[in-house]
Chain A
Amino acid sequence: ETGVTQSPTHLIKTRGQQVTLRCSSQSGHNTVSWYQQALGQGPQFIFQYYREEENGRGNFPPRFSGLQFPNYSSELNVNALELDDSALYLCASSLPVINEQYFGPGTRLTVT
């Protein structure tokens, strides 16, 4: 059974640029959620995708967007990067009803 994977591991971008982060869900999981974790804080829910549709969104602006593909992998896109977007971005996959979240290793984004 393959776990949740994320790419890239680290990324450095300049303010105003755009970034795409990728996540492959655990085998058989059709739900992917994205989280932002600032240093020293718990993860904050960005949004969730279920069967290629956005299925819930946290308190993040529209410049945070995403996609889910037929194989349930997912992308997180962030436009017009700001310094405060520097964080660890985590994705988690799950199955509905059971709803146990399995997390990937994260992508560390630094915006300068």
Chain B
Amino acid sequence: KQEVTQIPAALSVPEGENLVLNCSFTDSAIYNLQWFRQDPGKGLTSLLLIQSSQREQTSGRLNASLDKSSGRSTLYIAASQPGDSATYLCAVSMDNYGQNFVFGPGTRLSVLP
């Protein structure tokens, strides 16, 4: 059974810092991995999707890497801003239909002005 963990559970940093969020999964036979952002009480916003054949994806100040063999992904946020404060979730898909889409518990990020 796939299990996804995220470290740290919570993180508080001053504005301008570069930071790394970690995601680990137990079964390396994933189809893809997706990073999401969730504001309190809201739905999920997709940030980056990495297919199993890819090593990384970039969007603006965000960079996500994937090491499938070791069961790890990292989300790098450059020059953090107070608007980045949210919960960040990673999720892995075990098939191309998304039937088995497993989420981690999330990392709650606070960026202090």
A residues adjacent to B (C-beta < 8 A):
4, 6, 31, 33, 35, 40-45, 48, 50, 55-56, 88, 90, 92, 94, 96-97, 99-106, 108
Question: Shortest beta-carbon distance, B16 to chain A, in Å?
Answer: 28
Cβ A56 vs Cβ B100 within 8 A: yes
With beta carbons under 8 angstroms apart, the residue of B41, B46, B49, B99 that contacts A103 is B46
Task: Tell me how many residue pairs across A and B have CB atoms closer than 8 Å.
Answer: 75
Could you mark each residue 34-65 of chain B with 1 if its beta carbon is under 8 Å from any beta carbon of chain A, else 0?
Answer: 10100001111110010000000000000000
Cβ B99 vs Cβ A42 within 8 A: no
Q: How large is the interface on B (under 10, 10 to 19, 20 to 34, 35 or more residues)?
A: 20 to 34
Cβ A88 vs Cβ B98 within 8 A: no
The winner among A42, A100, A106 for most chain B CB atoms within 10 A is: A42
Cβ B91 vs Cβ A55 within 8 A: no
Cβ A103 vs Cβ B45 within 8 A: yes
Residues of A within 8 A of B103 (CB): 35, 42-44
With beta carbons under 8 angstroms apart, the residue of A40, A101, A106 that contacts B46 is A101
With A101-B34, A101-B46 as known contacts, state yes or no: A55 contacts B97, CB within 8 Å: yes
The winner among B31, B42, B43 for most chain A CB atoms within 10 A is: B43
With beta carbons under 8 angstroms apart, the residue of A44, A50, A96, A104 that contacts B43 is A104
- Besides A31-B97, A44-B103, 18 other CB < 8 A contacts? A4-B43, A31-B98, A33-B101, A35-B103, A45-B101, A48-B97, A88-B41, A90-B43, A92-B44, A92-B98, A94-B98, A96-B97, A99-B96, A99-B97, A99-B98, A101-B46, A101-B98, A102-B46
